[in-house]
Amino acid sequence: QQPQQPQQQPQQQPTSNKRPSNSAPPPTQLNKIKYSGGPQIVKKERRHSSSRFNLSKNRELQKLPALKDAPPHEREELFIQKLRQCCVLFDFISDPLSDLKFKEVKRAGLNEMVEYITHNRDVVTEAIYPEAVIMFSVNLFRTLPPSSNPTGAEFDPEEDEPTLEAAWPHLQLVYEFFLRFLESPDFQPNVAKKYIDQKFVLSLLDLFDSEDPRERDFLKTILHRIYGKFLGLRAYVRRQINNIFYRFIYETEHHNGIAELLEILGSIINGFALPLKEEHKMFLIRVLLPLHKVKSLSVYHPQLAYCVVQFLEKDSSLTEPVIVGLLKFWPKTHSPKEVMFLNELEEILDVIEPSEFVKVMEPLFRQLAKCVSSPHFQVAERALYYWNNEYIMSLISDNAAKILPIMFPALYKNSKSHWNK
């Protein structure tokens, strides 16, 4: 029941009528961040967030000897010293030019430890586990800044620039180090579970609301590794992700990490054993379907649709409640959202069993008839594209006596009177 790796695979071309679906969730987009060459100078007017870091009092770091130059018997102690030194926190917001020399000592130390843990065996010893987890926690577990979009107004990934984390030069290396630590061949979950526990996971999940997409990208991979390695934490991780979704749907309608959390879930669903547990079916009906009604759906829709299709491939008996749920949440006035629903519905029809199709075809085609007659030409055009899909056409022709009386009036009316011919 291992979750699959969340990485994009090329979409397979259909060879038979019924299309095979992707075996990996669509990756969340790293929003357009413009990287410039050379060191970045923080300008005051740029939107950098001020996470609540508790800055260290004594920030004068001594440069320690390189790990590779130390005698082998002293390396563990030196490694621990470097991890502790990297617990010193610096100010990147109110005075970005302060402590430049010591910031560089920390940056170089983190860089060196990333290399050390990647290229050397037997360096993740038992004494390193608590130190590595403390260093990660001190640097990263923090109060995130207030949202720059607190009303929950729709965030447009194409237009809105994300708020970037000013301390990223250090944070990036801390994330990189912790990821290499988790992926090290010497890593032992049995030793680590004393330190990577439920409290740690909860703090990690809190960070998914970061506005910096680079941070969420690291978090996604780290949580996925933890889910894969710590069997005892799996149910807890799923439960806490559920709680985030419930709060998002029914209370706040604002959270920056929904797409990343859904991407992780796409991989987890991939690994579910059959028959599906009742808990997993409830998650589909009570969480994934209501996620369609939130106004910022466009930000996470590809990952959501992937999760829904994964469920239907695992258990075709869920098709009817899913399609009934989609029709219930079908947007009435928002045409871009309607196009998203049509995209998802086609993905579902690509994997639908003919016996399940018969149960839902009448309400389904009543909705499609409305879409074909829609004054929004993108909606009408997207619905008409269904007729280019061989598998859907075969389902229609097998059930023509029921479907044609529903569809024909809409198609005929369109051919005579639609404004956009």
Angle between helices 213-229 and 234-247 (to 10 degrees): 140
Q: Flag whether 18 is in a domain.
A: no
Q: Flag whether 227 is in a domain.
A: no
User: What tokens does 29 get?
Assistant: 């987009």
Identify the residue with better confidence: 157 or 266: 266
Residue 208, exposed/middle/buried by CB under 10 A (0-12, 13-18, 19+)?
Answer: buried
275-301 pLDDT per residue, tens: 999 999 999 999 999 999 998 999 999
Check whether 34 has a pLDDT greater than 70. Answer: no
Q: Flag whether 131 is in a domain.
A: no
Structural contact between residues 8 and 263, judged by C-beta atoms closer than 8 angstroms: no
pLDDT of residue 408: 82
Residue 399, exposed/middle/buried by CB under 10 A (0-12, 13-18, 19+)?
Answer: middle
Distance CA 2, CA 227 (A): 9
172-194 pLDDT per residue, tens: 999 999 999 999 999 999 999 99
Vertex 155 angle, CA 11 and 168, to 5°: 85
The predicted model scores a pTM of 0.84
| DSSP per residue, 237-256 | HHHHHHHHHHHIIIII---T
Distance CA 127, CA 191 (A): 10
Distance CA 334, CA 374 (A): 11
pLDDT of residue 67: 86
Identify the residue with better confidence: 393 or 65: 393
Check whether 2 has a pLDDT greater than 50. Answer: yes
Instruction: Pick the closest to residue 168 from 216, 204, 117 (CA basis).
Output: 216
Strands (E), 164-242: 164-165
Q: Flag whether 3 is in a domain.
A: no
Q: Flag whether 357 is in a domain.
A: yes
Q: Which long-range contacts (CB under 8 A, 24 or more apart) does 394-402 make?
A: 394/17, 395/349, 395/352, 395/354, 395/357, 395/361, 398/354, 399/357, 399/358, 399/361, 402/361, 402/362
Q: Flag whether 407 is in a domain.
A: yes
Residue 255: phi, psi to the nearest 5? -165, 135
Residue 286 DSSP one-character state: I
pLDDT of residue 335: 87
Q: How many CB atoms lie within 10 A of CB 330?
A: 17
338-376 pLDDT per residue, tens: 999 999 999 999 999 999 999 999 999 999 999 998 889
pLDDT of residue 92: 74
Percentage of the chain modeled with pLDDT above 70: 80
How many domains in the chain? 1
Structural contact between residues 65 and 78, judged by C-beta atoms closer than 8 angstroms: yes
Per-state percent for the chain, helix, strand, coil, to nearest 5: 60, 0, 40
φ/ψ bin of 27: left (φ > 0), alpha (ψ from -120 to 50), beta (otherwise):
beta
Instruction: Pick the closest to residue 265 from 318, 307, 228, 299 (CA basis).
Output: 307
Q: Flag whether 75 is in a domain.
A: no
Distance CA 202, CA 241 (A): 9
CA distances from 388 to 167, 211, 383, 384, 393 (A): 50, 40, 10, 8, 8
Full domain range(s) for residue 341: 317-420
User: What tokens does 90 get?
Assistant: 């610096």
pLDDT of residue 95: 66
CB-based contacts of 110, cutoff 8 Å, min separation 6: 86, 170, 173, 174, 176, 177
Which amino acid, 412? Y
Q: Flag whether 327 is in a domain.
A: yes
pLDDT of residue 41: 39
Q: How many CB atoms lie within 10 A of CB 47?
A: 11
Distance CA 20, CA 11 (A): 9
Distance CA 100, CA 92 (A): 10
Average pLDDT, the chain: 85
Residue 421 belongs to what H/E stretch?
none
